[in-house]
Chains A and B, each alone.
Chain A
């Protein structure tokens, strides 16, 4: 029964991954990350992804602050925005966050044109996509954790002489 539970969870994991690939949320770079995980570094993927979440939230806050400041001062530091976006592109692409990377590239293009309305629209889309990605990856890790728990469970031993 526990084996069946583990198989069902494995199927759930694969189904979610297939969906994320099909939607273009993730690309093969995510599989690269999984290939780097092994018994010597069993939590590598979750460590990298948690690091990514932590840094991404800071980047998004910085981008929002820079754009809000622009509204008040009628001046936006587009160069600084572009620097944050370069970092965001690098980190997002390295975990296979394909759709988010594309949105960052569009946002970066808007900064090069000093297009404030375009930047605002891009930021909203980026924040929305980030939330979606974070929720889906948390769901994936939750299933993985459940599967690990089921796999580690042991049947109680029965004494046939009793």
Chain B
């Protein structure tokens, strides 16, 4: 059963998105379901935070970002041996674009907008 705000979990998450508004919403959703979280603005920062020794159970990865996009970041994280659940979150719906992102090493892909129901279904799979 997915956690709720009243039962804080030990799960941790990283939000990777260049859009400040979306980082705010996704972090608030994670807070609401009791998941401790951090946010970074692009794929390069996502890789750097892992290089610094931090790890997360869940990574919500946007696709299009400056410096390093979601595809590049996912490939890099997997090549580093990061086994976290990485979920791509993007507004793209074309099969070819989704497939390219999945082949980078995603565990799942969600079309924006993210909502609490979609988030809980992801957390159910992790727990």
Contact = CB atoms under 8 A, between A and B. Distances in A.
Interface of A: 29, 32-33, 35-36, 41, 44, 47-48, 51-52, 55, 83, 86-87, 89-91, 93-96
Interface residues of B, number: 19
Contacts of B113: 29, 32, 90, 93-94, 96
Contacts of B64: 83, 86-87
Contact of B112 (A41, A52, A89): A89
22 contacts: A29-B115, A32-B113, A32-B116, A36-B25, A36-B32, A41-B28, A47-B24, A48-B24, A52-B21, A83-B64, A86-B90, A89-B91, A89-B112, A90-B22, A90-B90, A90-B91, A90-B112, A93-B112, A93-B113, A94-B112, A94-B113, A95-B21
A83 B114 CA distance: 20
Interface string B99-127: 00000000000001111100000000000
Majority DSSP secondary structure for residues of A touching B? helix
Given A86-B91, A87-B19, A90-B91, A51 B24 contact: yes
Contacts of B114: 94
Contacts, number: 55
Interface of B: 19-22, 24-25, 28-29, 32, 62, 64, 90-92, 112-116
A91 B19 contact: yes
Contacts of A47: 24
Contacts of B28: 36, 41, 44
Nearest to B92: A86
Given A35-B116, A51-B24, A94-B21, 11 more contacts: A32-B113, A33-B25, A36-B25, A47-B24, A86-B91, A90-B62, A90-B90, A91-B22, A93-B112, A94-B112, A94-B113
